Amino acid sequence: MRGIPFAKGHGTENDFVVVPDPDGELDLGARLVTALCDRRAGVGGDGVLRVVRTVHVPEVADQAGAAEWCMDYRNADGSVAQMCGNGVRVFARYLVDAGLAGPGDLAVATRGGTKRVRFEDDGTVTVDMGAAELPERLARVEVSAAGRRWPALGVLMPNPHAVAQVEDLAHAGALREAPVVGPEGSYPEGVNVEFVVDRGPAHVALRVHERGVGETRSCGTGAAAVLVAARRRAGLGPQDDERRSWRIDVPGGRLQGTERADGHVDLRGPAVLVARGELDPEWVAAHR
C-alpha cells in the first residue's frame, strides 16, 4: 500500500504538518490531526494544513472563483480555526514548491476569507491578513496568568485574540495552562492570548498562548492583532501614516506588520519547508 504524502514546515517556528489532499478524499478527523501533531508519537506540529481544492470544501466553496486552493487549517487538538497567519505563508510555499501554483502572487481560500499572498525577493512572504475587527464588547477584557491580571483588548483577525500589554514577558509565567480571560463568556469559542512588551519605536515583542494548541513560538494572526492594538494604543488609526510598519518579535523569530490606509494588515515573514515524507498507511488507519 502506498504511503500518504506529507511535508513539514514552519513560519517563525510555528510549525505545521502539510497534508496534500487535492481532491478532498482524506478523512481528516480530530483523532488523526492530534496524532499527526504529537511531538513524540507523530510527526509533530502546532497544527495541520490540508491542501485541498477549494471546490471540495463546502464551507469555503464560494471562494473557488478567487482561489483554486484552500488552506484547511486544524489546531493540534483537532479543532478548526478561521485562519493561521504563519500557516498561510507555509501553505503558499508548499503550493509553489509542489508545482501546484506558479511563483507569482496567489490567492488562498480560508475559513477567514480569501488571502492574497506575495513572494518577496528576499525569500520572505507577505500576506494580506485583512482588516481587524475591534468589537466594543471586547474593548475591556481582562487576562489572568501566573497570579497576575492585565487589562486587554479583544481583536478579531478574524480569529479571536485578547492582547495584553505587560511589563515583562516573563510575568505570563510558564503558560502550561490557558490564561483566564474575563469577563466569563467574552469568548464563547475560545481565545488566543498575546502578551506584549514595547521594544522601541514601532517595535514590540510578544508571547502567545494559542487556542487549541498551547504556548507556541509564534502566531501570525496574533502578530497582526498586536500590531493593530499597538497602533490604537499609540492613538493611531488606519488613516494615520505615522508608524505604519512594526517589527514584531516572537520567540521563534521576527515578523513585520504594516497597517494600510484601508485597515488591512500586511504581514511579512519567513516560510520554510523542512521535510517531505510519506505517512505509513497502517499508522494512519490506526488513528482514524
Out of 60, 70, 117, 219, pick the active-site residue.
219
Ordered alpha helix ranges (H), the chain: 30-37, 85-97, 220-233, 281-286
User: Contact letters (x/-) for ligand LBFN2T5F, 108-137, by CB under 6 A?
Assistant: ------------------------------
Q: Which is nearer to ligand LBFN2T5F, 106 or 255 (CB)?
A: 255
Residue 176, Cβ density class (10 Å: 0-12 exposed, 13-18 middle, ≥19 buried): exposed
10's enclosing H/E stretch is: strand 4-11
Annotated binding site, which residues?
Answer: 14, 75, 85-86, 159, 192, 210-211, 220-221
Applying CB under 6 A, the span of 54-62, 220-228, 230-238, 276-284 interacting with ligand LBFN2T5F comes to 220-228
Q: How many other CB atoms sit within 10 Å of the CB of residue 213?
A: 21
Which residues neighbour 267 within 8 Å (Cβ) at sequence distance 6 or greater? 85, 126, 127, 129, 220, 223, 224, 255, 256, 257
Q: Which residues, 178 to 197, sit near ligand LBFN2T5F by CB under 6 A?
A: 192
Q: Which is nearer to ligand LBFN2T5F, 84 or 202 (CB)?
A: 84
Per DSSP, the chain holds a count of helices (H) and strands (E) of 4, 18
Q: How far is the CB of 22 from ligand LBFN2T5F (least distance, A)?
A: 23
Does 84 participate in binding ligand LBFN2T5F (rule CB under 6 A)? yes
Applying CB under 6 A, the span of 139-147, 195-203, 211-219, 271-279 interacting with ligand LBFN2T5F comes to 211-219
Question: Is 52 strand, coil or helix?
Answer: strand
Q: How far is the CB of 223 from ligand LBFN2T5F (least distance, A)?
A: 8
Beta strands 148-156; 160-165: pairing state? antiparallel
Amino acid at 203: H
User: Which residues are marked as active site?
Assistant: 84, 219
Chain residues that interact with ligand LBFN2T5F, rule: CB under 6 A = 14, 75, 81, 84-87, 159, 192, 210-213, 216, 219-222
